[in-house]
Chain A
Amino acid sequence: DTAVSQTPKYLVTQMGNDKSIKCEQNLGHDTMYWYKQDSKKFLKIMFSYNNKELIINETVPNRFSPKSPDKAHLNLHINSLELGDSAVYFCASSQDWDEKLFFGSGTQLSVL
């Protein structure tokens, strides 16, 4: 069983569209995260959720909104997509702040 699964793996869309990326973890972890990896491979944290509460919100545009229906899921909604949103988005989870992150396989978003 995949520990952290995210869908879709690839997403190609037009500027201005709204899209969502889903993430689920079956590890029973308390905290889930969204990271953005740009074309230069730089990984930057976007959000983290602990027990359904947002505890970190980096300076990302408010077009991005995380939604967590339960502890095992953290979905990422993106409104009014822009060219600069093209990147690989990784979902991750951890049991505690000092433990390793378990990553999903990433979603490559291409905005045309």
Chain B
Amino acid sequence: AQTVTQSQPEMSVQEAETVTLSCTYDTSENNYYLFWYKQPPSRQMILVIRQEAYKQQNATENRFSVNFQKAAKSFSLKISDSQLGDTAMYFCAFVDHNNNDMRFGAGTRLTVKP
């Protein structure tokens, strides 16, 4: 079974600084996709970024970028110029063509401090 591991239960960062959230996964598949979701206190799940495993280029979305290391099965999220509104739970997620169900890591609670 595929597993997704987020080893940092909580992190904090000063406003305007950069923070990196780590995620590792375990799979024997070659065709899969990785995601980062954000869950602010409102409880709504919001997609942050999506990465195709077959693409070597790291995905970026404005201040959010990933460091995708396929051989190491690592998929970290970098948030640049952190803003107070980035305070949320962040979930790493994985899905492959065999299982068709998205699996989530345990989450990292990020606090951005003013």
Contact = CB atoms under 8 A, between A and B. Distances in A.
Interface size of A as a range:
20 to 34
Contacts of B47: 100-101
A48 interface: yes
Nearest to B107: A41
A48 B101 contact: yes
Contact of B43 (A92, A98, A106): A106
Interface size of B as a range:
20 to 34
A43 B104 contact: yes
Contacts of B106: 40-42
Nearest to A101: B102
A33 B33 CA distance: 18
Interface in A11-64: 31, 33, 40-45, 48, 50, 55-56
B69 to A, nearest CB: 20
Given A41-B89, A45-B103, A55-B100, A100 B43 contact: no
Question: Which secondary structure dominates where chain A touches chain B?
Answer: strand
Contacts of A31: 100
B54 to A, nearest CB: 11
A45 B101 CA distance: 7
B102 to A, nearest CB: 6
B19 interface: no
B107 A105 contact: no
A98 B107 contact: no
A100 B101 contact: no
Interface of A: 31, 33, 40-45, 48, 50, 55-56, 88, 90, 92, 97-98, 100-101, 103, 105-106
